[in-house]
Amino acid sequence: MDVISVIRTKRDRGELSEAQIDWVVDAYTRGAVADEQMSALAMAILLNGMTRGEIARWTAAMIASGERMDFSSLSRPTADKHSTGGVGDKITLPLAPLVAACGAAVPQLSGRGLGHTGGTLDKLEAVPGWRASLSNAELMDVLDSTGAVICAAGDGLAPADKKLYALRDVTGTVEAIPLIASSIMSKKIAEGTGSLVLDVKCGSGAFMKNAADARELAETMVGLGTDHGVRTVALLTDMSTPLGLTAGNALEVRESVEVLAGGGPADVVELTLALAREMLDGAGLTDADPAKALADGSAMDVWRRMIAAQGGDPDADLPVARETHVVTAPRDGVLTRLDAYDIGVAAWRLGAGRARKEDPVQAGAGVELHAKPGEPVRAGQPLLTLHTDTPDRFAYALESVEGSYDIEETGGLMARPIVLDRVAAG
């Protein structure tokens, strides 16, 4: 077996054999296949796709590259959630402690930013002292003591995915449905959670720009989970406009704490509760009321314990960018469009994301929104505030912001629901 023949097979629109898939995933994990060679294969997969059989085998090979976890010793049922990535998508931060406050155990293994979308670990690392990397023993201790843990997947869990995930981010292959599905599901199946809820984003700020692609991804992942004995459902959710009023690491942590305190933007609260209900249903906790757990402070209590258990200080001041630039409305009217992708790119250019897998991110960088579509604005009113430690980034970010919004003289705007559809097995 050699990597060139594998690349050529997929380049020429052929179907990879089970032996080819098993070999190339294992060889890449061992370092016998170079990054540039796997980049070529990933691009061929992006352009030419994979059959259902290829995706299933690729996922199985990713799982087989490492260990599998077991949460059967816990006294609580387990439930997990994964988002395919969006702009301002800080939902995991309030969601994990909320579901734990309702009686489930939430082993939330999360990732870093991909392209224009933010990463949960990057956000939480804005909290002073907080650690993303935990040993399996530490993970179990935090989960047992607090009910929720948000951390990086350990080196032993689907190591093939850890390498490929970082490579996809910097080679323009993030959007490949087979690679998204296998990346997500290999980790979640190996993780050993009893039930899984998928938040599949759809819209300009998502990797799936249209409903058909989002549904294909959702159905692929639900099928993979179900075949491996994990109760899996997916919600298709809107990502045409950024979620909430912030996009950036510390900015989103601050907003998440507002939600846990009983406030926060309505769209963030709505989606958090919708996903919480699905997770609790999957865990068999159908009588739990997540709205009550937000209102009575019990979710906030779990958040504080969870952050502290991972070395963070829940009372510490969050980082603030050294420089800001305010974008104002050029005229009176109604904001009728605020493009999620453009805002995500602006946040990335300000330093909230990375161009190379080795790059650091700025904790305080990002974009703050002062209006959402459907709201009236007046000339000179702040629309956006850009945050960064490096002011020479403003000009580049403003190129993306310039075409990100529309203001009309009058305005009827049909409100688009956050949850667009639900996909379940069978």
Which residue, 266, 293, 267, is CA-closest to 279?
293
Residue 188 annotated in active site: no
**Which entry of 112, 123, 168, 231 is annotated as an active-site residue?**
168
Compute CA distances 133 → 137, 183, 294, whole Å: 12, 19, 28
Residue 187 annotated in active site: yes
Residue 72 annotated in active site: no
**Which entry of 10, 57, 81, 82 is annotated as an active-site residue?**
82
**Which entry of 81, 112, 187, 215 is annotated as an active-site residue?**
187
**255: helix, strand or coil:** helix
CB-CB contact of 355 with 347 (8 Å)? no
Q: CB within 8 A of 415, min separation 6: which ones?
A: 374
292 CB neighbour count, 10 Å cutoff? 12
Q: CB within 8 A of 411, min separation 6: which ones?
A: 333, 334, 336, 374, 376
Q: CB within 8 A of 118, min separation 6: which ones?
A: 85, 87, 88, 89, 90, 247, 248, 249, 252, 344, 347, 352, 353
Give me the phi and psi of 30, to 5 degrees please: -80, -10
Helix boundaries (H) for 147-232: 159-169, 177-191, 211-227
**Which entry of 65, 110, 182, 183 is annotated as an active-site residue?**
183
Torsion region of 405: left, alpha or beta (phi above 0 gives left; psi -120 to 50 gives alpha): beta
**Which entry of 80, 89, 122, 161 is annotated as an active-site residue?**
161
CA dihedral defined by 150, 156, 162, 163, rounded to 10 degrees? 160
CB-CB contact of 200 with 47 (8 Å)? no
Query: Which residue has 């609790």 as its token pair?
Result: 280
**Active site amino acids:** 82, 161, 168, 183, 187
